[in-house]
Amino acid sequence: MKPLPPDLNSPTALHGLSAFTTIRTHRGEALLLSEHLERLEATCTFLDLPPPAADVPELEALPWGLLRITVTAEGTYYRHQPLLPPAVQPTGAGVLLSRIQVHPQLGRHKTGNYLPYILAQRHAERAGFFEGLLIDRGGNAVDGTRTGLLLRVGGRYLIPDGGLPSVTRAALLSELHAEAQAAPISPELLQRAERVWLCGSGVGVVPVVYLKADDWAKDYEAEWVGQEHAALKMPD
């Protein structure tokens, strides 16, 4: 047993009291920056943290990058690193519906309290899936470990009620000139869906081709959309 290092003796390190957002960059430009900062500020208000600093520094002109902005009680910090193409087959992504639950109050926010997402991602990767979905107490799909969920059911677009308001998903709906309704995404609804997409800064927009739950599975016809938009396409 070792003494706790002083730099770990804080609410940020011990309890995840921080807010963050992850922004795609293209040749040094932070894409959808204002939308990300607006969502981040709302989370800071919810957590009683200071608002995020808006003075984003000049970024290295990476072909594709990920800019993570983190806010703690001590200030705003950033990290910029290369974004590598995700390991997705040309046919689409396989997804596992996990049994890991999101926090009922924190599910709408990106916070340092991230353990459920790490567990769901580990379960999915060990089973050979690209993404894992987390659920709420009622068993409804709420979010992916690193993506937001979008469904088309009966010609309507649906997003999970209770999940993170995905900036990438909102940009996709704007590109499609479409609106989406928030609804509980039950297993029955997932089985009825004609199309399912994953939306996130790190992957863009990826169609789901296969979804596996404990006692059922479904194949979907993949439809690649939004690939002309730098914030939505698969990184080169």
Quote the pTM value. 0.94
Give the domain range for residue 174.
Answer: 93-219
In terms of domains, do 52 and 110 share one? no
**pLDDT value of position 13:** 86
Return the SS3 of 197: strand
Residue 88 domain-assigned? no
- Please check whether residue 27 lies inside any domain of the structure: yes
Question: Do residues 19 and 110 lie in contact, with contact meaning Cβ atoms separated by under 8 Å?
Answer: yes
List the structure tokens of 200: 């996130």
- The count of structural domains within the chain is 2
Per-residue pLDDT of the chain (236 residues; tens, 9 = 90+): 988 888 888 888 888 999 999 999 999 999 999 999 999 999 999 999 999 998 999 999 999 999 999 999 999 999 999 999 888 888 899 999 999 999 999 999 999 999 999 999 999 999 999 999 999 999 999 999 999 999 999 999 999 998 999 999 999 999 999 999 999 999 999 999 999 999 999 999 999 999 999 999 999 999 999 999 999 998 87
